[in-house]
């Protein structure tokens, strides 16, 4: 994949402003217009016959990438915000706190969801994300006091 990136960018007359990759997912910022981007997509798809890239375009100035929803500010080109991305099919169902599971397993699920929300969300969106997560965890029978303690513990551990 790194070879593909190098070949794609080196052999293209127009280049992306940003190219970020995780395994086979690529996030690109393209400033040259959609027609030229389609040409660039065709170009990178012609480099290796076994690889075919598809693309998602922004909707309402937002684009999902992995578990993050990236949103471009209407006021500035260079300002982006980010928060947890949940697919439309997401059901908010997690391991129920009243289920017959070891308490360490239940605490692990709670901890990982809170950690994910804090780490993937910028300061502007974090309070809304945590508010929604608290409601979802409470629907899954986690006690509010346990949720609050875990959030406070993670906020102390996570730099701003």
- pLDDT bin (cut points 50, 70, 90) of residue 158 is low
What is the pLDDT at residue 86? Answer: 92
- pLDDT bin (cut points 50, 70, 90) of residue 78 is low
Taking residues 55-78, report their average pLDDT.
Answer: 84
Q: Is the pLDDT of residue 94 over 90?
A: yes
Domain coordinates of the chain in residue numbers?
A: 2-55, 64-157
Taking residues 1-17, report their average pLDDT.
Answer: 89
Q: Are 95 and 51 in contact (CB under 8 A)?
A: no
- pLDDT bin (cut points 50, 70, 90) of residue 109 is very high
Task: Compare 57 and 76 and report the one with higher pLDDT.
Answer: 57
3-state SS, the chain, equals CHHHHHHHHHCCCCCCCEEEEECCEEEEECCCCHHHHHHHHHHHHHHCCCCCCCCCCCECCEEEECCEEEEECCCCCCCEEEEECCCCCCCCCCCCCCCCCCHHHHHHHHHHHHHHHHHHCCHHHHHHHHHHHHHHHHHCCCCHHHHHHHHHHHHHHCCC
Q: Tens digit of pLDDT for each residue in 39-54?
A: 999 999 999 888 898 8
Listed in sequence order, the residues at least 6 apart from 12 whose beta carbon sits closer than 8 Å to its beta carbon are: 40, 43, 44
Cα dihedral value 144, 145, 151, 152, nearest 10? 150
Task: Compare 159 and 134 and report the one with higher pLDDT.
Answer: 134
Q: Is the pLDDT of residue 142 over 90?
A: yes
Q: Is the pLDDT of residue 77 over 80?
A: no
What is the pLDDT at residue 73? Answer: 79
What is the pLDDT at residue 76? Answer: 60
């Amino acid at each position: 994949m790194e070879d593909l990136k190098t070949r794609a960018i080196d052999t293209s007359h127009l280049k992306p402003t940003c190219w970020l990759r995780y395994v086979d997912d690529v996030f690109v910022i393209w400033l040259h217009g959609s027609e030229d981007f389609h040409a660039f997509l065709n170009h990178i798809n012609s480099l290796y016959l076994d690889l075919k890239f598809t693309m998602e375009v922004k909707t309402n100035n937002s684009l999902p990438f992995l578990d993050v929803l990236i949103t471009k500010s209407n006021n500035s080109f260079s300002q982006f915000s980010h928060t947890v991305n949940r697919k439309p099919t997401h059901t908010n169902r997690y391991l129920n706190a009243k289920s017959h599971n070891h308490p360490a397993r239940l605490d692990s699920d709670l901890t990982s969801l809170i950690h994910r929300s804090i780490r993937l969300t910028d300061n502007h969106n974090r309070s809304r994300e945590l508010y929604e997560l608290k409601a979802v965890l409470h629907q899954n029978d986690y006690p509010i006091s346990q949720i609050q303690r875990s959030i406070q513990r993670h906020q102390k551990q996570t730099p701003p």
